[in-house]
Amino acid sequence: MTVPLDPAAVVAEFIARVGQYDPAPDAAPVAVVGVRTALGEGVYPMSDHVVRAMCRALVAYHDPDDRGRCTNCGGHRLDENLHCQDCGRLHGILGQVIAQHARRIADAHGDDVPGPGT
């Protein structure tokens, strides 16, 4: 069973971890962040060093579910096999190989099978 993350605790842990490297630990806070969820809450003063570290961490974040955009419909819901959940198109090498195979079978049997993106 996965233990739910407590956002307030995660923010506090981030501030504690990064704050120990602050070159000016006694400087006045430049921001205050408040977090309140069903799991917990907290108000955290943050130094310039911590604010910059948090901004860098947020900018660097890449969602593991981000697999690009569908070239057919523009949607963002590509599954792990690059199959678009919105329009059904397959992308990448897998999609190309499947589409080529379907065309070869259709040509061999005289069937009308649409190509990718059609």
Q: 34: closest CA among 22, 47, 46, 24?
A: 46
Candidate ranges 5-9, 18-22, 71-75; pick with highest mean pLDDT: 18-22
Write the pLDDT tens digit of every residue in 61-78: 999 889 888 888 999 998
CA–CA gap between residue 98 and residue 85 (Å, rounded): 17
pTM greater than 0.75 (yes/no): no
114: pLDDT strictly greater than 70:
no
Q: What percent of the chain has pLDDT over 90?
A: 52
- Quick one: pLDDT band at residue 47, thresholds 50, 70, 90? very high
Task: Describe the crossing of helices 7-19 and 48-60 by its angle, rounded to 10 degrees.
Answer: 120
